[in-house]
A and B are shown apart, each in its own frame.
Chain A
Amino acid sequence: SQTIHQWPATLVQPVGSPLSLECTVEGTSNPNLYWYRQAAGRGLQLLFYSVGIGQISSEVPQNLSASRPQDRQFILSSKKLLLSDSGFYLCAWSVLAGGFGTQYFGPGTRLTVL
Chain B
Amino acid sequence: AQKVTQAQTEISVVEKEDVTLDCVYETRDTTYYLFWYKQPPSGELVFLIRRNSFDEQNEISGRYSWNFQKSTSSFNFTITASQVVDSAVYFCALVNTNAGKSTFGDGTTLTVKP
A20 within 8 A of B: no
B33 touches A (CB below 8 Å): yes
Residues of chain B within 8 A of A16, CB atoms compared:
none
Q: Which of B33, B43, B97, B101 contacts A108 (CB 8 A)?
A: B43
- Bound-state CA distance A103–B103 (Å) is 12
Residue of B nearest to A96 (CB): B100
- Would you list which residues of chain B between 13 and 52 have a CB under 8 Å from chain A? 33, 35, 37, 42-47, 50
- B47 near A102 with CB under 8 A, answer yes
B104 close to A44 (CB less than 8 A): yes
Asked whether B104 lies within 8 Å of A43 as measured between CB atoms, the reply is yes
CB of B33 within 8 A of CB of A101, answer: yes
Tell me whether A74 is interfacial, beta carbon within 8 Å: no
Task: Check if B102 sits within 8 Å of A43, measured CB to CB.
Answer: no
Nearest-neighbour CB distance to chain A for B91, whole angstroms, equals: 7
Contact B99 A100 (CB under 8 A): no
**Complex Cα–Cα for A36 and B106 (A):** 13
- A57-B96 Cα distance, complex, nearest whole Å: 15
**Chain B residues whose CB sits within 8 angstroms of the CB of A99 once the complex forms:** 50
Which residue from A42, A44, A100 sits with its C-beta under 8 Å from B97?
A: A100
Instruction: Select B102's contact among A34, A96, A104, A108, beta carbons within 8 Å.
Output: A34
- Are A42 and B104 interface neighbours, CB within 8 A? no
Complex A-B, nearest 9 residue pairs according to Cβ-Cβ distance, in ascending order: A43-B106, A101-B33, A101-B95, A44-B104, A105-B45, A32-B100, A43-B107, A108-B43, A107-B44
Which residues of A are at the interface with B, using a C-beta cutoff of 8 A? 32, 34, 36, 42-44, 46, 49, 51, 57, 59, 88, 90, 92, 94, 96, 99-108, 110
**A43-B104, A43-B105, A103-B102 provided; 4 other pairs, C-beta below 8 A?**
A44-B104, A44-B107, A105-B46, A107-B44
